């Protein structure tokens, strides 16, 4: 079989080239080659690995060099959303009213009601594990079909399923019954045809521990925010493509985020209108977003390609919905530090945080928020936090202060919690994402962030000041 650049199969390339009615005319794969080379070329070496704070390009050019990868990735994530929502439908989460509403989606949305499915909850393993394994298998199957030369950096192999036949059967049933309502799209994505093939796909995702230079790798989180998922809260289905340690493509779905809430976000509205609303004190209504769940639909999906802007669209059970642009550039800049001494000078910022997190120190964030912490945006999922920052105001910032000590390899966070959505933030407008020391997040050191400690995400106009203040606070030994 003939293969094109980066391993796109000939059949897939032909299908993509004919998908004009889906969204737009997809340029020929061969025509894309020069643009792909330009975007994917490694950055010139410099004497410092400090983060460059140049503003992101948010105007999407006519020729997106990764348009085919983006298209397949969005379809694959959309299908994975159906699997996770099916789990919520069949195994309602724990909380009462909010959880029941989250699970009350109908089969017309593409979910599958299966008799006897609740038995998984009694089998000694949480339903979120079924959603994770099924979502991961469906994602890998789609990407492997379209881009067979790409690699995967995943969380785990299929060993847990091999050791638990009951869970294996539930995962297999879910994979078999989850499909987009368009046979052409299903043919494009592909799927495992047997239990053995399903296990082999999962092994692909968990068998690689370190990236090879010059090779592209997909990193995924089929259910990010497992605690929130089990409680009927906000969770994410995230997918990112990395090359030589940096993100080049990111897609995230927020299946429980109300569509009306997402499309009312400041960055989705035309910048002038959003700026006027902000000046008039009309804040984006994100109070209690963790429990303000999508009761009937499938949520929203955002996508970004390095240097080519960010889009948002409604998740469907078939063809991709019409996208809207996400751009924070025209919004009011963040307030500068005031005259209050110490970290509290940043109290006019709005911090996006997870106060209940077992991995980070909320009290340290409260030093910066001062008396304004009560206006913070609280979300359990790390990918949800990045996504909301991409949609929100330029005055929003994130400091993830680890509980563990600083130093290489001493406080390791998994890359699948931080691949894809940081790109959404930096490409949606002026934004920088680094570790606590101002260093780039590196995704070429294995499955963990080995050389980085914590995260600071903030507007270009305030990031340096935040990083400097963080450097003055004593770190744990």
Does 2 have pLDDT greater than 60? no
pLDDT for res 247 = 97
Average pLDDT, the chain: 80
Higher pLDDT, 364 or 241: 241
pLDDT-derived band at 126 (thresholds 50, 70, 90) equals confident
pLDDT for res 271 = 55
pLDDT-derived band at 473 (thresholds 50, 70, 90) equals confident
pTM of the model: 0.81
Are 434 and 334 in contact, with CB atoms under 8 Å apart?
no
CATH 3.30.540.10 fits 8-15+55-257+287-326, yes or no: yes
Does 331 have pLDDT greater than 90? yes
The domain ranges of the chain are 8-15+55-257+287-326, 342-472
Average pLDDT of 210-216? 89
Question: φ and ψ at 186, to 5 degrees?
Answer: -65, -40
pLDDT-derived band at 106 (thresholds 50, 70, 90) equals very low
Does 466 have pLDDT greater than 80? yes
pLDDT-derived band at 184 (thresholds 50, 70, 90) equals very high
pLDDT for res 51 = 41
Does 255 have pLDDT greater than 70? yes
Please give the class, per CATH, of domain 342-472: alpha beta
pLDDT for res 263 = 93
Question: Is 59 annotated as contributing to ligand binding?
Answer: no
Tokens of 435: 């570790």
Average pLDDT of 237-250? 97
Strand partners, 254: 300
- How far is residue 107's CA from residue 104's CA, in Å, rounded to a whole number? 10
In the Cβ-directed half-sphere of 294, how many Cα atoms lie within 13 Å? 28
Higher pLDDT, 474 or 151: 151
Tokens of 421: 């959505």
pLDDT-derived band at 312 (thresholds 50, 70, 90) equals very high
C-alpha distance from residue 403 to each of 168, 228, 433 (Å): 35, 21, 19
- How far is residue 300's CA from residue 254's CA, in Å, rounded to a whole number? 5
């Amino acid at each position: 079989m003939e293969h094109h650049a980066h391993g796109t199969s000939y059949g897939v390339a032909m299908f993509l080239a004919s998908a004009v009615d889906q969204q737009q005319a997809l340029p020929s794969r061969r025509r894309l080659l020069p643009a792909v080379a330009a975007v994917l070329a490694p950055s010139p070496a410099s004497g410092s690995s400090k983060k460059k704070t140049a503003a992101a390009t948010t105007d999407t050019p006519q020729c997106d060099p990764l348009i085919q990868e983006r298209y397949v990735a969005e379809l694959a994530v959309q299908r994975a959303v159906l699997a996770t929502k099916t789990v919520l439908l069949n195994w309602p989460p724990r909380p009462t009213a909010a959880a029941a509403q989250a699970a009350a989606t109908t089969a017309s949305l593409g979910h599958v009601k299966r008799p006897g499915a609740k038995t998984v909850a009694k089998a000694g393993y949480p339903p979120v594990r079924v959603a994770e394994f099924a979502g991961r298998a469906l994602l890998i199957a789609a990407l492997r079909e379209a881009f067979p030369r790409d690699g995967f950096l995943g969380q785990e192999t299929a060993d847990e399923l091999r050791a638990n036949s009951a869970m294996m059967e539930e995962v297999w049933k879910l994979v078999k019954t989850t499909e987009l309502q368009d046979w052409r799209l299903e043919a494009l994505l592909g799927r495992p045809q047997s239990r053995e093939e399903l296990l082999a796909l999962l092994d692909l995702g968990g068998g690689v521990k370190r990236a090879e230079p010059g090779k592209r790798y997909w990193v995924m989180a089929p259910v990010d925010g497992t605690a929130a998922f089990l409680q009927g809260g906000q969770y994410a289905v995230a997918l990112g493509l990395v090359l030589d340690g940096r993100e080049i493509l990111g897609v995230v779905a927020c299946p429980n985020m109300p569509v009306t809430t997402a499309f009312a976000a400041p960055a989705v509205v035309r910048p002038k209108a959003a700026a006027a609303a902000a000046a008039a004190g009309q804040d984006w209504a994100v109070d209690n977003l963790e429990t303000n769940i999508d009761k009937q639909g499938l949520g929203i999906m955002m996508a970004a390609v390095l240097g080519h802007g960010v889009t948002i669209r409604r998740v469907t059970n078939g063809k991709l919905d019409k996208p809207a642009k996400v751009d924070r550039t025209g919004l009011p800049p963040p307030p500068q530090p005031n005259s209050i001494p110490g970290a509290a000078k940043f109290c006019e910022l709005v911090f996006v945080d997870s106060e209940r997190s077992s991995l980070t120190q909320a009290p340290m964030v409260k030093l910066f928020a001062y008396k304004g912490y009560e206006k913070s945006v609280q979300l359990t999922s790390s990918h949800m936090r990045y996504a909301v920052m991409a949609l929100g105001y330029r005055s929003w910032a994130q400091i993830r202060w680890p509980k563990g000590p600083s130093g290489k390899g001493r406080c390791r966070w998994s890359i699948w919690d931080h691949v894809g959505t940081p790109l959404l933030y930096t490409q949606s407008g002026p934004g920088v994402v680094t570790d606590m020391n101002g260093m780039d997040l590196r995704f070429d050191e294995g499955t963990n962030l080995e050389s980085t400690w914590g995260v600071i995400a903030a507007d270009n106009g305030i990031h340096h000041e935040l990083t400097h203040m963080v450097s003055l606070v004593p770190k744990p030994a």
